[in-house]
């Protein structure tokens, strides 16, 4: 809750935490001149470029050596990947070719060549590759600075002392984050990037919160304002009243002392979608990877399914980074909200209820056979392997999938290839029919995990990605809690561990209820793991059980939220950040399409979109400019 006078800008947190400071706008690329004073012959330009690549590599090596002793920091690994990019032939030869073919100065050739590579990354549709684009832009700026003889610093152009600032900048370039951290910057506001970017991974490792908003330019007028950045709640409070500051800053979870004792209440695991995310991870009190979403591997690159060899390499990287812990690999869950651009799933009016995961293997068993062969080959010598099967609705689907897994095992044995033949098999509970089949499934499976993201969607028949129905989508609904309680009872009776790997598992307020219900394992995003551990360390089982009983007696989500000490309405369009080009109709509050929507008008330099002529007319009749709350809704991403 905020006081009525505080202006609030909403967004989404891509690195957690809460901080306060002065908002300062900064564009590192704009600070570097583009053209050289004089341009030489192509061979001279190539020579100049080569010299500066060498000097940049030397500087990066020095920084790596400085950072290298700290195993908890991913900085050294990230900079090592930059060195590899600079040493590799593809970047160098592209710049050299550009200098020769376009007769450009080295500065301009660097910019052109790197932008070309960035376009390929960004057009790949692979979220991990897309998030490597800032690394290349970072190197381009550093090379250009050196080529024009500028002092190599990404913060060089910032006139004010950046300490105690919150930087508003387009995207997080890794070296900008490193330098900003060293100079006392407290956090970032961006309008590009995800938690997968190296910049976000670094910011998180330094405890610097990052908020992503829809469009940075809508905040220009706030340059120099005192702000409170609450990335946990996805909010930026402008000139916050003291009453807004105190509770938020007090809410910052205590930084856990890296203790040897994991919480006895539940084991904490990590959710990842790319083994690279594990570089520099703090494994303190963490059991292993509880959910590796393998879909990302299938989204990238060549425009086809990755081969068994390619998959084997990727899974090997995961196991190497997890050892000696355990790793839970979820088999491919395409369909529904995760489509592959190169694989048609046929006509589907309702993809969430259509071909998805193992339903596809009825037509293409080779997809699962290849994947399981690759996983088992990569896990040779890694004893902590667990396979997790998504979207299993009932025992016959489980048996069908296990039949394919057994076939993969037999084929590897017949081929005489080294592979891991001891692994656990887990069922991912994501549908109401799996809930009703749970006892039978537990007899067959070694462990179970609840995919609350999908389970809530299918329990309530509410699309998890539709902003206008999210009011009905929340883990705090007593119906969800009753389902979880039943699953936990059955798992306990069967003596099998039960995890939550959906978003609900990292909801700090809900945590005592989940523990009280009997959940034994929590698999959470990397950037939530230590906060979840810290929260678990504050809980007592007896209190958790009492709270869970009270919540199970509640009739509405509001009552549960009150019991959790979080009164207010459950998520709805007014508090959930709209995505992409979707905006909020300022009259009715509905998320509407911006693109191609003719129902639009501009007021005070800002464009508004509407669901109907009636809402547009009602808006045009309003004489007053939109109030602060309205504006904050409109600035969400
Ligand atoms: C879930 O549904 O809760 C889950 C973990 O899977 P995903 O979000 O990848 O569908
Ligand atoms: Mg799911």
For residue 575, being part of any structural domain is answered with no
Which of 27 and 416 is assigned the larger pLDDT?
416
Ligand 1 atom 8 nearest Cα: 453
For residue 254, being part of any structural domain is answered with no
Cα separation of 538 and 531, whole Å?
11
Residue 318 Cα to ligand 2 middle (Å): 21
For residue 261, being part of any structural domain is answered with no
Closest ligand 1 atom, CA of 502? 3
Please report the pLDDT score of residue 33 as a whole number.
58
Residue 409 Cα to ligand 2 middle (Å): 26
Ligand 1 binding pocket, CB closer than 6 Å: 291, 293, 430, 451-454, 501-502
Which of 147, 172, 205 marks a domain boundary? 147
Closest ligand 1 atom, CA of 291? 5
Choose the residue to mutate in 502, 503, 507 for probing ligand 1, maximizing ligand atoms within 8 Å of C-beta: 502
Ligand 1 atom 6 nearest Cα: 451
Please report the pLDDT score of residue 337 as a whole number.
75
Which of 516, 534, 563 marks a domain boundary? 563
Does 596 share its domain with 532?
no
Please report the pLDDT score of residue 310 as a whole number.
92
* pLDDT average, residue stretch 362-382: 97
CB atoms within 10 A of CB 184: 12
* pLDDT average, residue stretch 277-306: 85
Residue 434 has pLDDT above 70, yes or no: yes
Choose the residue to mutate in 290, 331, 501 for probing ligand 1, maximizing ligand atoms within 8 Å of C-beta: 501
Give pTM, 2 decimals: 0.65
Does 54 share its domain with 174?
no
Ligand 1 atom 9 nearest Cα: 293
Residue 432 Cα to ligand 2 middle (Å): 13
Cα separation of 400 and 612, whole Å?
48
Closest ligand 1 atom, CA of 295? 9
CATH code: domain of residue 416? 3.20.20.60
Q: Judging by beta carbons within 10 Å of its beta carbon (0-12, 13-18, 19+), is residue 503 exposed, middle or buried?
A: middle
Q: Name the residue range of residue 228's domain.
A: 7-26+155-249
Closest ligand 1 atom, CA of 501? 5
Does 203 share its domain with 223?
yes
Does 325 share its domain with 196?
no
- At 68, is the pLDDT very low, low, confident or very high (cuts 50, 70, 90)? low
Q: What is residue 621's DSSP assignment? A: H
- At 628, is the pLDDT very low, low, confident or very high (cuts 50, 70, 90)? very low
Which of 13 and 556 is assigned the larger pLDDT?
556
Closest ligand 1 atom, CA of 450? 3
- At 333, is the pLDDT very low, low, confident or very high (cuts 50, 70, 90)? very high
Please report the pLDDT score of residue 73 as a whole number.
62
* pLDDT average, residue stretch 598-603: 90
CB atoms within 10 A of CB 630: 14
Does 98 share its domain with 39?
yes
Residue 635 has pLDDT above 70, yes or no: no
Ligand 1 atom 7 nearest Cα: 453
Phi, then psi, of 606 in degrees rounded to 5 = -120, 140
Which of 132 and 267 is assigned the larger pLDDT?
267
Which of 1 and 384 is assigned the larger pLDDT?
384
Closest ligand 1 atom, CA of 451? 3
Residue 453 Cα to ligand 1 middle (Å): 5
* pLDDT average, residue stretch 486-501: 97
Residue 21 has pLDDT above 60, yes or no: yes
Choose the residue to mutate in 329, 453, 521 for probing ligand 1, maximizing ligand atoms within 8 Å of C-beta: 453
Q: Which helix or strand (DSSP H or E) is residue 286 part of?
A: strand 286-293
Please report the pLDDT score of residue 573 as a whole number.
40
Does 358 share its domain with 467?
yes
CB atoms within 10 A of CB 182: 11
Does 486 share its domain with 338?
yes
Residue 608 Cα to ligand 2 middle (Å): 34
Cα separation of 483 and 488, whole Å?
9
Query: What is the pairing mode between strands 606-609 and 582-584?
Result: unpaired
For residue 573, being part of any structural domain is answered with no
Average pLDDT along the chain:
85
Please report the pLDDT score of residue 74 as a whole number.
73
For residue 257, being part of any structural domain is answered with no
Does 238 share its domain with 278?
no
Ligand nearest, relative to CA of residue 295: 1
Q: How far is CA 287 from the centre of its chain?
A: 20
Does 460 share its domain with 552?
yes
For residue 588, being part of any structural domain is answered with yes
Check if the beta carbon of residue 496 is closer than 8 Å to that of residue 446: yes
Residue 428 Cα to ligand 1 middle (Å): 9
Torsion sign across C-alpha atoms 156, 159, 161, 167: negative
- At 576, is the pLDDT very low, low, confident or very high (cuts 50, 70, 90)? very low
For residue 469, being part of any structural domain is answered with yes
Ligand 1 atom 4 nearest Cα: 451
Ligand nearest, relative to CA of residue 271: 1
CATH code: domain of residue 216? 3.50.30.10
pLDDT in tens, 440-475: 999 999 999 999 999 999 999 998 877 788 777 889
Please report the pLDDT score of residue 632 as a whole number.
41
> Hey, what are 328's tokens?
């839970």
Residue 126 Cα to ligand 1 middle (Å): 18
CA proximity to 289, closest of 424, 373, 429, 384: 384
For residue 259, being part of any structural domain is answered with no
Instruction: Report helix angle 133-147 to 174-182, nearest 10.
Output: 70
Does 271 share its domain with 366?
yes
Ligand 1 atom 1 nearest Cα: 451
Does 515 share its domain with 547?
yes
Does 491 share its domain with 540?
yes
Please report the pLDDT score of residue 29 as a whole number.
61
Q: Which conformational region is residue 247 in: left (phi greater than 0), alpha (psi within -120 to 50 degrees), or beta?
A: alpha
Choose the residue to mutate in 273, 297, 390 for probing ligand 1, maximizing ligand atoms within 8 Å of C-beta: 390
- At 623, is the pLDDT very low, low, confident or very high (cuts 50, 70, 90)? confident
Phi, then psi, of 448 in degrees rounded to 5 = -135, 155
Cα separation of 375 and 118, whole Å?
31
Which of 594 and 211 is assigned the larger pLDDT?
211
> Hey, what are 312's tokens?
């084997």
Which of 147, 175, 198 marks a domain boundary? 147
pLDDT in tens, 204-240: 877 899 999 988 888 888 888 999 999 888 899 999 8
Phi, then psi, of 627 in degrees rounded to 5 = -80, 175
Q: Is the peptide bond before 2 cis (omega within 30 degrees of 0)?
A: no
Ligand nearest, relative to CA of residue 291: 1
CATH code: domain of residue 50? 1.10.274.10
* pLDDT average, residue stretch 271-300: 87
Q: State whether residue 41 is helix, strand or coil.
A: coil
**What is the number of structural domains in the chain?**
4
Choose the residue to mutate in 451, 487, 522 for probing ligand 1, maximizing ligand atoms within 8 Å of C-beta: 451
- At 260, is the pLDDT very low, low, confident or very high (cuts 50, 70, 90)? very low
């Amino acid at each position: 809750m905020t006081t009525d006078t505080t202006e609030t800008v909403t967004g989404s947190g891509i690195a957690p935490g809460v901080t306060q400071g002065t908002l300062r706008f900064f564009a590192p690329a704009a600070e570097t001149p583009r053209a050289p004073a004089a341009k030489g012959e192509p061979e001279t330009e190539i020579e100049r470029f080569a010299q500066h690549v060498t000097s940049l590599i030397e500087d990066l090596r020095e920084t790596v050596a400085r950072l290298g002793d700290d195993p908890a920091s991913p900085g050294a690994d990230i900079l090592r990947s930059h060195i590899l990019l600079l040493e590799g032939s593809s970047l160098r030869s592209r710049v050299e070719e550009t200098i020769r073919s376009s007769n450009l100065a080295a500065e301009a050739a660097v910019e052109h060549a790197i932008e070309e590579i960035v376009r390929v990354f960004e057009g790949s549709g692979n979220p991990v590759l897309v998030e490597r684009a800032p690394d290349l832009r970072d190197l381009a700026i550093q090379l250009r600075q050196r080529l024009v003889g500028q002092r190599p610093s990404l913060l060089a152009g910032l006139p004010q002392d950046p300490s105690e600032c919150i930087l508003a900048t387009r995207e997080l370039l890794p070296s900008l984050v490193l330098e900003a951290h060293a100079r006392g910057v407290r956090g970032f506001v961006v309008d590009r990037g995800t938690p997968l970017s190296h910049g976000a991974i670094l910011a998180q490792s330094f405890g610097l919160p990052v908020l992503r908003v829809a469009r940075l330019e809508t905040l220009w007028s706030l340059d120099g304002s005192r702000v409170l950045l609450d990335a946990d709640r996805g909010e930026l409070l402008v000139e916050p009243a003291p009453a807004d500051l105190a509770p938020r800053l007090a809410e910052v979870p205590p930084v856990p002392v890296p203790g040897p004792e994991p919480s006895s209440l539940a084991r904490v695991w990590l959710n990842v979608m790319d083994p690279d995310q594990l570089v520099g991870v703090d494994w303190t009190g963490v059991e292993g990877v509880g959910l590796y979403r393998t879909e990302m591997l299938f989204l990238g690159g060549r425009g086809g399914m990755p081969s068994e060899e390619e998959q084997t390499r990727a899974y090997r990287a995961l196991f190497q980074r997890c050892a000696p812990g355990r790793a839970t690999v979820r088999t491919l869950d395409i369909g529904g909200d995760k489509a592959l651009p190169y694989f048609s799933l046929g006509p589907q009016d309702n993809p969430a209820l259509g071909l998805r995961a193992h339903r596809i293997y009825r037509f293409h068993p080779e997809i699962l056979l290849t994947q399981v062969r690759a996983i088992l080959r990569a896990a040779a010598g890694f004893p902590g392997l667990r396979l997790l099967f998504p979207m299993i609705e009932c025992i016959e689907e489980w048996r069908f999938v296990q039949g394919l897994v057994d076939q993969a095992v037999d084929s590897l044995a017949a081929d005489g290839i080294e592979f891991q033949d001891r692994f656990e098999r887990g069922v991912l509970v994501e549908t109401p029919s799996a809930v009703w089949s749970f006892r039978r499934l537990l007899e067959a499976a070694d462990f179970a995990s609840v995919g609350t993201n999908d389970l809530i969607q299918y329990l309530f028949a509410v699309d998890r990605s539709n902003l206008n129905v999210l009011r009905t989508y929340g883990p705090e609904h007593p119906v969800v809690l009753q389902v979880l309680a039943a699953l936990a009872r059955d798992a306990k009776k069967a003596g099998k561990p039960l995890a939550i790997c959906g978003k609900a598992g990292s909801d700090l307020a809900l945590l005592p209820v989940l523990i009280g219900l009997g959940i034994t394992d929590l698999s959470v995003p990397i950037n939530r793991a230590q906060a979840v551990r810290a929260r678990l360390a504050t809980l007592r089982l007896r209190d958790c059980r009492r709270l869970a009983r009270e919540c199970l007696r509640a009739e509405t989500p509001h009552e549960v939220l009150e019991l959790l000490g979080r009164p207010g309405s459950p998520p709805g369009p007014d508090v959930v950040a709209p995505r992409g080009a979707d905006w909020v109709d300022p009259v009715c509050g509905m998320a509407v399409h911006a693109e191609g929507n003719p129902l639009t008008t501009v007021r005070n330099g800002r464009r508004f979109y509407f669901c109907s002529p009636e809402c547009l007319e009602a808006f045009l009749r309003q004489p007053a400019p939109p109030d602060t709350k309205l504006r904050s809704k409109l600035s969400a991403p």
